[in-house]
Structure 1
Amino acid sequence: MLQEKEILHSSHWGAFYARPGRDGLQVRPYEDDPNPSPVIGNFTDALNHPARIRQPMVRKGWLERGPTRGADRNGDTFVAVSWERAFDLVARELRRVRDEFGAGQIFGGSYGWASAGRFHHTQSQIHRFLNTCTDGYVRSVNSYSAGASTVLLPHVAGPFDDVSRRGVTWRQIEQYTDCVIAFGGMATKNSMVASGGISHHIEEPSMAAARRRGCHFINVSPLRTDLPEGADAEWVPIRPGTDVALMLALVHELVAMGRHDRAFLSRYCVGWDRFQDYVLGTADRQPKDPRWAAGITGIDAGTIRALAARLTQGRVLVTVSHSLQRSEHGEQPVWMGLVLAAALGQIGLPGGGYSYALGTIAHYGRLDNRIRFASLPQGRNPVQAFIPVARISDMLLNPGQEFDYDGAVHRYPEIRLVYWAGGNPFHHHQQLARLRDAFRRPETIIVHEVAWTATARHADIVLPCTMTLERDDLGVTQTDSMLIAMKRVAAPYAQARDDYDIFAELAKRLERHEAFTEGRDTMGWLRWIYSETQRRNASSGQALPDFDTFWEQGRLELQKAPDDGGMFRRFREDPAAHPLPTPSGRIEIVSERIAGFRYEDCPGHPAWLAKRETPTERYPLWLIANQPATRLHSQLDFARYSQSNKRHGREVCTMHPADAAARGISDGGLVRLYNERGGCQAAVRLSEDVMPGVAQLPTGAWYDPIDPSAARPECRHGNPNVLTGDLPTSALSQGCSGQLARVEIERLDAEPEPVRAFVPPPFISEPEPGRR
């Protein structure tokens, strides 16, 4: 261990103090955090966990046969090699593909949640390395979390960040909001995390303060727990994936009552008359009224009418969670929520209108800092080919095939080499049997990883990297009020190295060392980022101390920008002077641009589109595969806090007691969830907080297949992505649709095999040179 004193550090779950102790790492939350996350408990035993990777590893079959298409990467033995040998193998392979086939056949995979630090953000590291040393790479765009909304919102309202982050704040809600209707809820397990770190968790305290003032919260969700107890919310259970039908019926009722804001719709929006015809059923002879919606949503018509009436009383905020757009036609609830808010006429008012994804992560609903921080330059990528991030299997399985995206037609590239650093696609991605088959296509897969995730197990070359506690960094994000000197708490585990140091050594072998490092080590880059931030923000109104003073102090409070309501407030006050950055300059209830794309699965205005996959007699339950409460995605699933919330070593599935009784299932027992794609084992918890006909199993349990080669894999640990489908949300965004799946659940009576997800794969040591 490196440090004996307590050190302030930062993570996605919050700022915290850490100090090595006899029984592992001792951690405690930052003292000024009003609602700290218990997930920091995962750090206590993570540093030296057996699941961590001790030294560079190479798959035995790759060493023997070289780069090969169609290699079975399931269950092969690994060979432990020296760093020198690993560097030589990786550099030689990168040079081969770059020089013989071009950078357009290298895919740079990363998913950005690797570190709260500004410098050791792995996505920045790998992009800089590939741009500098291989002359570019095929990239991915957007995210699994918000793939549909990121593409849609600029067409109809404005930039994603302006709609989600820079508008309605929690301070406004505490002071002004009379009613929050949250489609998909605002679960605080989600707002406990923030990319770049967080020092003050304010969401639940703010909801409680607003509730005490009289604000009414409405949770429209299949799960009661999608709003915290402090919100004292009214729960409106709804069938999964039917929120658009409810929103349409609410707008129909507003029109029927004559309570829609005609003046707002006329001045600030385009396309209302055409959309109103759709809502009233003028063309298709199907009014989208409460009785119509009742048959789709499972909410009776009287409840819908009463809900519409309530929305006409006082300052109302409409929110739509990320979860609703992670399913087929995921663009529609995001767009329809905006239209509902427009019909109420309060967009741009303090605490009112529309705030997409408020409560989804801790950045949203906060003020920006006055200072904008510099980051590691990534250079220029000359390769034009890209994929939407959730189309990784499609790309690898279908090289040369055309795909639609945001009004244009693109073609999947041929990929020979995948270099993945940061992220675990065997967590994020859906239909894992298909992803497994896709991972057989490249000739070589190189992975940087902290521990033996399923992605590392499917690699040819595995390079062990450090985790955040083992490196120095700057912890800061645009919406958090503190800059933290993230000093190393512990020495690197075994032979693990920082990603930056790994890339610097490879750059040397590729004869691009100076271009990649610019002569700086880690501390040199931290000083550069800090000084560049000082230079860019000289007139911001907040002076930063010199770097050495800051590093010694360990933290710096940052001044906030004013709470001015952002883009929507300026637009409301003067739409001529501050038009929205849409084609019309207004809110696009009808988008002529999207209509011109002629996508059947994303028409020119919000619409109810039935899903292709719904429950059947054979698979009668909806599965909600949502975010976990005990970790971020799959990060540190092996660690203490995550493990303490499992039962029988397995993830916990929650289902309604009536559904369990019909299947002979008891609370605390083991079950098997299955459908046409595969199955998984889980422990079961019975609760009336889940509506009948719905089961909930969080994502993030490390994939642990009983038979890795099975066409329909069975995960003994409880990973729901063996069950979810690899379908895009629509041709517009090609987003992830993994939130929902249809399943059946049965009692598991046989004694299950032990979970082996955290047991390292078999390996042998490579003989020293000259000794065979």
Structure 2
Amino acid sequence: MLFSSILWALTPTLKLYAGRSSKLRNLIAHKNYIVQIQVKDGSLGRWYRFDEGRLTSGPGIHDEPDVIVRFKSTSVGVKVLINMGSGMFHFAYPLLRPFLNRMEVINQAKNFAFEIIGDDELTLHFTDTLNALLTHHWHQGTPVSCGETRYVNQTNGGPVFVYVKDGKIVRITPLEFDDSDAKPWSIEARGKRFTPPRRSTLCPHGLASKSLVYSKKRLLYPMKRVDFDPNGERNPQNRGKSGYERISWDEALDIAANEIKRIRRQHGHGAILSSHSSHHTWGNIGYYLSSNIRFLNSIGYTKMVLNPDSWEGWFWGASHHYGYTMRMGTAEPYGQVEDCLKEAEMIVFWASDPESTCGSYAAFEGTVRRQWAKQLGIELVHIDPYKNETAAWLGGKWIPIIPGTGPAMAHAIAHVWITENLYDTFYVENRTTGFEEYRAYILGEEDGIPKTPEWQEAETGVKAHVVRTLARKWGTRKTYLAPGGKGTGFGGANRASTGAQWARCMVCLMAMQGLGRPGVNFGNLTAGTPVDMQFYFPGYADGGISGDMEGTADPVQNYQRMPHLISMNTSTQKIPRLRIPEALIDGKTEGYPTDPKSLEGQFSRFAYPAPGHSKIRMMYKYGGSHFGTTMESNRLVEAYQTEGLEFVLNQSIWNEGEAKFADLIFPACTNFERTDIGEWASSGGYGHHNFNQLNHRVIA
């Protein structure tokens, strides 16, 4: 009885709200088709006819439906339809909303207790129409003066207010918080009370978002290379040289779908390579680890293995000294801001320019905190080849050093500490292992070369007396070491040819000084704020809607939290990002995985081609360009022009970089042109609690 009542009520409900909502009215008028909703045995059901905007229905089973929604039983049908807000229960939706359970719908689908049969486009249209019953009354944006509407958006440069008039962005500004937002935190240190301002900050590239949206280089429609014929001559040698012609979406989608099916059929497992940027536009749906991975998992693909960009030296080097791989080998940030302001006497910025690099998506949130440190009289030292923006602004002692020679200087500092007993002997004896071997190397007992300040001078260009003075001051003061832009690792000298050694040296120096004692830690006040960490919101590395069990943190973070359908890549073939040219030109390469789950995973060498897999015949490029981050980038040009790469599809926002080497180009939207949600600076996964760089947690 209840199931029949819900089915009957669906028609008048749709008609009622279509009269109030142009969105719902347009959906109903958009397609002509017949939907059958029924129980599996056919004993009960109702059909619905969408015809030129008119909706009619009748009891029973229709002879020729276009879409069939079939439930195992009436009880399953009631559960699913109620939790989709359908039928007569929509009238009581405001009261029912706290009890609606989307997990129930997902679980019934996982158990195959209901199914939807029919043309994909029509089935999607019908489910969109049902969902519109719940969303048609939603209104986005806040009306402001001059006919403008203000929206909120999350960019990878920080959250923004977006002011729109007549469908065009007028301006973009950082957020200003009001009394309805959460109260800020405060810290008392050395007789002063510090509270961050009631607004967000924004990276310069975030402020430039309007220019990016309306750039002359925007791709606005599908394009095909003029001398590429999927049914004839493909002319791969002309990639990067030929022009393009505009084509329709129907033609573009047909070419892409036919090529994917052909390549899988002719060449088999792993013939399609996914290539993408390291980072992407923001959002838990639009980010490349979300919907893109879900699509790729559905077709099976060769995975491009990213070098742990931004973490290189920390991941490959420092993690072996820490003995763990969370945060890719960088330091834990908890409590650092309060501890530094209360206890630290000196901060050493080593290859660290947070006023330029903005931490990890954190904009200028740490700027005010570094101002506080200066107010408190904390001594500041900057070791960098350049007098960078942070050094120029904050002042203090600048020690210029030849690029890539940081390990030698670190060894010399350790030599002073060992010979003058300026290190924490209790900590070293009770909290570390391997010090005797390290000591023997530093003192020259292993190779006959003591690593003195005089020894390092020729390599680093830093005078011996400067290094000795720094070592003595550091060894007698509670000191924060800030390696890299984030201050806890990440960026900086870890990207140089000696980056792994430099990162390892940073860990060894802090271990000698008693890492974790009051006032002794990693950090430059970019990370470690006392924001509320006792509620969870998924970050981009948690996989969004991908359901991916291997390449995201979804199985760790979301499996028990979020209703989603699992997906997986059936291909195990991998290619390192920086060795794509070798794979395509030479037909073979090898690499090591970026595996944040375990130290030992770093040593699991893999080879291309993998046993039982095809060589790469198609590349699906999803945003970004590797030309700026690939050594000898002409290798990549040559790789694109190889005969064996039969098809290249590029999905991009702008006509630049690798887009000009594609056979087929799909235009992509920015984060300002789609509905999405994400938390500021929250990477999730391998960057656990990354948002504690911020003065305020912001979800937009």
TM-score (normalised: structure 2): 0.63
Task: Give the counterpart letter for 2:453 in structure 1.
Answer: P
- C-alpha distance 155-69 of structure 1, shift in aligned 2 (>3 A): farther
Paired with 2:569 and 2:385, the residues of 1 have a C-alpha distance of 43
Question: Relative to structure 2, which stretch is displaced further, 259-268 or 157-166?
Answer: 157-166
Task: Give the counterpart letter for 2:170 in structure 1.
Answer: L
Does the 8 A contact of 1:369 with 1:479 survive in 2? Answer: no
The correspondence of residues 433-582 of structure 1 with structure 2, limited to 5 A, is: 433-441=634-642, 442-477=645-680
Aligned with 1:310 (options 473, 479, 488): 473
Paired with 1:445 and 1:350, the residues of 2 have a C-alpha distance of 55
Task: Give the counterpart letter for 2:174 in structure 1.
Answer: P
Paired with 2:219 and 2:532, the residues of 1 have a C-alpha distance of 38
Please name the residue that 2:462 is paired with.
299
- C-alpha distance 160-429 of structure 1, shift in aligned 2 (>3 A): farther
More relative contact order in 1 or in 2 (CA 8 Å, sep 6+)? 1
The correspondence of residues 656-671 of structure 1 with structure 2, limited to 5 A, is: none
Please name the residue that 2:224 is paired with.
58
Specify every segment of 5 or more residues in structure 1 that has no aligned partner in the other structure, as ranges. Answer: 482-556, 561-772
Does the 8 A contact of 1:165 with 1:363 survive in 2? Answer: no
Does residue 336 of structure 2 align to residue 135 of structure 1? no
Please name the residue that 2:240 is paired with.
74
Does the 8 A contact of 2:317 with 2:501 survive in 1? Answer: no
Please name the residue that 1:29 is paired with.
174
Question: Relative to structure 2, which stretch is displaced further, 258-267 or 401-410?
Answer: 401-410
Task: Give the counterpart letter for 1:435 in structure 2.
Answer: L
How far apart are 1:52 and its partner, in Å?
Answer: 0.6
Does the 8 A contact of 2:407 with 2:498 survive in 1? Answer: no
Paired with 1:477 and 1:71, the residues of 2 have a C-alpha distance of 43
Deviations 1:381-429 (A, max 9, x none): 2322223433333333332234466334321333211111132212332
Please provide the CA RMSD for this pair. Answer: 2.9
Please name the residue that 1:224 is paired with.
387
Task: Give the counterpart letter for 2:584 in structure 1.
Answer: L
Does the 8 A contact of 1:131 with 1:137 survive in 2? Answer: no
Please name the residue that 1:409 is paired with.
605
How far apart are 1:480 and its partner, in Å?
Answer: 9.9
Please name the residue that 1:13 is paired with.
157
> Number of matched residues?
475
- C-alpha distance 111-64 of structure 1, shift in aligned 2 (>3 A): closer
2:605 match: secondary structure: strand
Please name the residue that 1:243 is paired with.
406
Does the 8 A contact of 2:162 with 2:172 survive in 1? Answer: yes
1:287 match: secondary structure: coil
Paired with 1:163 and 1:145, the residues of 2 have a C-alpha distance of 11
Aligned with 2:570 (options 382, 385, 391): 382
Does the 8 A contact of 1:187 with 1:225 survive in 2? Answer: no
Paired with 1:290 and 1:67, the residues of 2 have a C-alpha distance of 65
Task: Give the counterpart letter for 1:14 in structure 2.
Answer: G
Identity of paired residues, percent?
Answer: 20
Task: Give the counterpart letter for 2:314 in structure 1.
Answer: S
Paired with 1:320 and 1:446, the residues of 2 have a C-alpha distance of 40
Does the 8 A contact of 1:103 with 1:138 survive in 2? Answer: no
Does the 8 A contact of 1:144 with 1:428 survive in 2? Answer: no
How far apart are 1:192 and its partner, in Å?
Answer: 6.3
Does the 8 A contact of 2:172 with 2:207 survive in 1? Answer: yes
2:403 match: secondary structure: coil
Aligned with 1:204 (options 367, 382, 389): 367
Question: Relative to structure 2, which stretch is displaced further, 244-253 or 6-15?
Answer: 6-15
Paired with 1:76 and 1:58, the residues of 2 have a C-alpha distance of 10
1:25 match: secondary structure: strand
Please name the residue that 1:169 is paired with.
336
- C-alpha distance 317-66 of structure 1, shift in aligned 2 (>3 A): farther
Paired with 1:369 and 1:282, the residues of 2 have a C-alpha distance of 47
Does residue 311 of structure 2 align to residue 154 of structure 1? no
Does the 8 A contact of 1:182 with 1:320 survive in 2? Answer: yes
- C-alpha distance 417-61 of structure 1, shift in aligned 2 (>3 A): same
Does the 8 A contact of 2:319 with 2:330 survive in 1? Answer: no
Does the 8 A contact of 2:149 with 2:165 survive in 1? Answer: no
Task: Give the counterpart letter for 1:387 in structure 2.
Answer: I
2:669 match: secondary structure: coil
How far apart are 1:143 and its partner, in Å?
Answer: 3.1
- C-alpha distance 429-213 of structure 1, shift in aligned 2 (>3 A): same
- C-alpha distance 24-354 of structure 1, shift in aligned 2 (>3 A): closer
Question: Relative to structure 2, which stretch is displaced further, 282-291 or 21-30?
Answer: 21-30
Deviations 1:681-740 (A, max 9, x none): xxxxxxxxxxxxxxxxxxxxxxxxxxxxxxxxxxxxxxxxxxxxxxxxxxxxxxxxxxxx
Aligned with 2:579 (options 371, 377, 391): 391
Aligned with 1:89 (options 255, 261, 272): 255
Deviations 1:560-585 (A, max 9, x none): 9xxxxxxxxxxxxxxxxxxxxxxxxx
Task: Give the counterpart letter for 2:628 in structure 1.
Answer: H
Please name the residue that 1:540 is paired with.
none
- C-alpha distance 275-165 of structure 1, shift in aligned 2 (>3 A): closer
Paired with 1:559 and 1:472, the residues of 2 have a C-alpha distance of 17
Paired with 1:320 and 1:11, the residues of 2 have a C-alpha distance of 26
Task: Give the counterpart letter for 1:8 in structure 2.
Answer: V
1:463 match: secondary structure: strand
Please name the residue that 2:627 is paired with.
426
How far apart are 1:330 and its partner, in Å?
Answer: 1.9
Task: Give the counterpart letter for 1:397 in structure 2.
Answer: I
Paired with 1:46 and 1:396, the residues of 2 have a C-alpha distance of 32
Aligned with 2:345 (options 172, 178, 185): 178
How far apart are 1:24 and its partner, in Å?
Answer: 5.3
Paired with 1:97 and 1:363, the residues of 2 have a C-alpha distance of 47
Does the 8 A contact of 1:123 with 1:422 survive in 2? Answer: no
Does the 8 A contact of 2:169 with 2:210 survive in 1? Answer: yes
Please name the residue that 2:280 is paired with.
114
How far apart are 1:15 and its partner, in Å?
Answer: 1.6
1:62 match: secondary structure: coil
Specify every segment of 5 or more residues in structure 2 that has no aligned partner in the other structure, as ranges. Answer: 1-139, 142-147, 177-197, 485-490, 539-543, 549-566, 594-601, 610-614, 685-695
Please name the residue that 1:688 is paired with.
none
2:238 match: secondary structure: coil
Deviations 1:88-140 (A, max 9, x none): 111111112222223422211122532221221123222111102x1343231
How far apart are 1:477 and its partner, in Å?
Answer: 4.5
Does the 8 A contact of 1:12 with 1:193 survive in 2? Answer: no
Please name the residue that 1:644 is paired with.
none
Paired with 2:259 and 2:246, the residues of 1 have a C-alpha distance of 18
Paired with 1:353 and 1:212, the residues of 2 have a C-alpha distance of 20
- C-alpha distance 104-367 of structure 1, shift in aligned 2 (>3 A): farther
Paired with 2:512 and 2:679, the residues of 1 have a C-alpha distance of 38
Task: Give the counterpart letter for 1:184 in structure 2.
Answer: A
Does the 8 A contact of 1:421 with 1:448 survive in 2? Answer: yes
Please name the residue that 1:145 is paired with.
310
Paired with 2:292 and 2:162, the residues of 1 have a C-alpha distance of 28
- C-alpha distance 36-78 of structure 1, shift in aligned 2 (>3 A): closer
- C-alpha distance 393-143 of structure 1, shift in aligned 2 (>3 A): farther
Does the 8 A contact of 2:156 with 2:681 survive in 1? Answer: no
Paired with 2:592 and 2:293, the residues of 1 have a C-alpha distance of 25
Rg (Cα) greater in structure? 2
Paired with 2:697 and 2:444, the residues of 1 have a C-alpha distance of 53
Paired with 1:70 and 1:40, the residues of 2 have a C-alpha distance of 37
Paired with 2:640 and 2:398, the residues of 1 have a C-alpha distance of 43
Does the 8 A contact of 1:253 with 1:308 survive in 2? Answer: yes
How far apart are 1:304 and its partner, in Å?
Answer: 0.6
The correspondence of residues 604-623 of structure 1 with structure 2, limited to 5 A, is: none
Task: Give the counterpart letter for 2:457 in structure 1.
Answer: A
- C-alpha distance 61-116 of structure 1, shift in aligned 2 (>3 A): same
Paired with 2:635 and 2:505, the residues of 1 have a C-alpha distance of 32
- C-alpha distance 69-370 of structure 1, shift in aligned 2 (>3 A): farther
Does residue 517 of structure 2 align to residue 349 of structure 1? yes
Paired with 2:248 and 2:527, the residues of 1 have a C-alpha distance of 42
